[in-house]
Structure 1
C-alpha cells in the first residue's frame, strides 16, 4: 500500500473544529452521528485491514490522518491514537514503531517526571489507588500478629503503594514488625529510577521507625515464572505476601500458569492481584474482535482522562501517549512474542484470572473494613466512580474480589487469595 500519505510519527496541529468525517469520502452509504465519527471510521478501517482491502485501507487511513489530532477534541484524540496502531498493522511496521516509541519515551524518562505523573494521576483518579487501598488492607490483615514480614511486589508504580502501609505498621498497637520489600521490576523504564526509589523508601522507613530492607530484582529479562525462592530472598521464618499490581498482563499467556505455581511455592499468607478489566487474549487471533475490545476499553480510559484533567494538562497528554504505546503493542505487534522489551499487553478480565488462580489458591474476599476503606477513597474523587462486588467466582460465596467502575463500566479488578 502507499505509505506517502501519512506517517505514525506525524505531528498534527489541527484546530479543534469538527470536520464532517464522511465529507466527499464515499466511505459509507449512511452518515454516522457526529459524536461517534471516530469510532465508526476506526471500526471500518479495522475491518478493511482484516479483509486486506488495500484501496479502502488507504482511503480510511488518509481520512483519519486528516481528521485526527492529539490536541483536539475527544474524537480527534481517539482517532489519532488508534490511527497509529492501525497504520502499523496495515504496513506490518508495529514492532519497529513500538520499539521507537519506547526508546523515545525512555530517553525522557526520569524519576521526578515519572513520580509527578503517577502522583498527579492518583490525585485526580482512583484508577491505581483503588488497588493500593484494597491490597494494602488485605496484606495488613494477613500479617496481623506477625513480626517478620516480607512483601514480594510485582508492579511498576514506583512503590507509591507502600508509604501508607509503612505508616500503618508504625502505628500498630503491638510490636512494630520488620519489613523486607522485594520489588520485581517488569518494565524496562522503571529500572532506571529504582536507585532513587530505594533511597527514598529507606529514608521514609527510618522516619516511620520501621526496621526495613529493600531489594530490587530485574524481572524483565526472563520469564517471571523462572524466579526462585532463593533469588527472591524468601526465608522460612518470614510471613510472605505477594502483591501483583497491573503486572501480570506483561507475562505471556502461556507462562501464566508457571507464575501462579511460583506464587504457591512461596507459601504466602496472601496474594493480591489487581488487573484492568479487559480481555485481549480470547480474541488474539481475530483482529477485528481484538480491535473492538481495545476500542471499548481505551475509550473508557480516554473518557476518564478527559473528565479528570484540564484540557491543557501536560500530565494528561503524557498518559495518553503512554496509552498509545499500549494500543500499538496490542493491535500491531503482540503476536510477536519476543520483541525483547518484556512488555506483553495481553490483559485478562477478573473471571479469567479466577480460572487460573483457582487451581492453586482460594479467594479470601475483602473484609468489611477494607471495603469501607475503598468506598471512603472513592468519595474523594469526582462523581462517576463506584465499587461493586465481583460475584463471578463459582468456587466462593465471597465472590472473587471487587471491581472499580467508571460510569457503571468495570475498569479495574482487585482480589486477594490464599493457598
Structure 2
C-alpha cells in the first residue's frame, strides 16, 4: 500500500465506537476519502449520516460538521465557485455599519484574535515613525479600521508636535459589493470625527479594488517622498493568488516603506485538486484549523450571540472557498509563518526585532481575556505568535527593505 494512502486510510466503519469529540473529524475524513476515490456509494452513506448529526446552531462538533458537509456537497456537485459567490453576495447585502461594528467590537472585547495583531503592529509602526512629522499608512486589512483609533491616541499624546497622518485603506475583495462600500463610508466619517477630537491632522482615502490585490495599480496609493511610509497587511495576504504573492511583496518593496507589518493566521491551507494526496492532506489541516477557531469562538462568546454567528458564517464561507472552489478563485489559502518569512526574505525584506516594550504591551493585552491565551516567539522565524491553549493561531511580524 502506498504510504500516502496508508497514512490517510479511513478507520474501520464502526461509528458507534467513535468518541463524542472526534466523530466530525473521523466521518469527514472518510467522506473526503470517498470524494478523492470517487466512491459514490460510500460518499452517499457518509453524507446522509453527517446530515443527521450536523447543525449550524449546535455545539462545536455539529457546526464544524455542517459547514464541511456543505462544502463537500458543493465540491462533488462542481458548484463551489458559484455557491461561494452567492453566499458572499448575500452576506454583502446583509452588511450594515451597526452589525459590522457590533461584531468587530464584541470579537475584540471577548478575544485577542484581532487585537493581538493591532497591538504588535502599532508598536512596530510607532517605533519606525519616531521623530517623523508626516506619516502615511497603507492599510490592507479585514478589521474595518479598528486598529487606528488607538494609534491616533498614541501619536496625539506621545509627541510634542502631533504629526500629520494620512491613511490609505485598501479594500481588496473579489466580491466587493455595495454593502462594504456603505460600511466604509460610515467608518470614514467616524474616523475623521475622532481625529478632530484627538487633534490629529488626518486624511483618509478608501480604495476599493475588486480584483486580486497583486493587480492593484500602485499609483493609486499616491506615495509622497516627504512622508514616512508604513504598509500594514492584516489578514488579507492570504487572499492573493499563491503564484502572485512574491510579485506583490516585490511591488511593496519597490515603494521603499519605513516598515511593513504583516499579520496572518498560522495554518497551511493550500488545498490540492479534488483527488489525491494533496487534497486529503489539505482537508485534514483545514479540519484541524477550523476546529481550533470554532472552539476558541465557543469558549469566548456567550451561548447565544449574533456576533458569534456572523463570525461562524464567515468561517463557513472560508471552508467552502478552500474545499470546493478552484485554486484561481480561492481567497482563503493561508500559509505558515515559516513560509511567509521565506517569501519576505526572498523579496528583499529583513525582519525587525520585536522590542521588549511591544512584547510587554501584548502580554498586558492578554491579561484582559480569559485564561488559555498566551504569546511566544519562535527561534526559526521572526515575529511573535498568539497561542490558544498552546496552539499557535496568529502570527505578527515587522519587516523593512534591505
Common topology (TM > 0.5): yes
Q: What is the match of residue 256 of structure 1?
A: 245
How many Å apart are 1:317 and its aligned residue? 1.4
Alignment of 1:310-329 (within 5 A): 310-329=302-321
The reply on whether 1:120 has 2:106 as its aligned counterpart is yes
Counterpart CA distance in 2 for 1:281 and 1:76 is 24
Out of 302, 318, 335, the position equivalent to 2:294 is: 302
How many Å apart are 1:256 and its aligned residue? 0.7
How many Å apart are 1:30 and its aligned residue? 7.2
How many Å apart are 1:178 and its aligned residue? 0.2
Q: 1:375 to 1:283 in 2, by over 3 A?
A: farther
- The structure with the largest helix share of the pair is 2
Counterpart CA distance in 2 for 1:296 and 1:208 is 44
Q: What is the match of residue 377 of structure 1?
A: 365
Say which SS state the counterpart of residue 263 (structure 2) adopts: strand
Say which SS state the counterpart of residue 35 (structure 1) adopts: coil
Out of 381, 385, 388, the position equivalent to 1:403 is: 385
Counterpart CA distance in 2 for 1:184 and 1:35 is 41
The reply on whether 1:413 has 2:385 as its aligned counterpart is no
Aligned residues: 382
**Cα RMSD, aligned residues only:** 1.6
Q: What is the match of residue 126 of structure 2?
A: 140
Structure 2: gaps (5+ residues): 1-11
Alignment of 1:121-270 (within 5 A): 121-187=107-173, 188=176, 190-228=180-218, 230-270=219-259
Larger mean Cα displacement after TM superposition, 378-387 or 65-74:
65-74
Structure 1: gaps (5+ residues): 1-25, 394-399
Contact 1:225 1:258 in 2 (8 A): no
Counterpart CA distance in 2 for 1:223 and 1:141 is 27
Counterpart CA distance in 2 for 1:29 and 1:99 is 35
Deviation string 1:188-222 (CA, Å, 9 cap, x unpaired) is 25333111111111110000000001111123335
How many Å apart are 1:283 and its aligned residue? 5.0
With CA pairs under 8 Å and 6+ residues apart, which has the higher RCO, 1 or 2? 2
Counterpart CA distance in 2 for 1:303 and 1:211 is 42
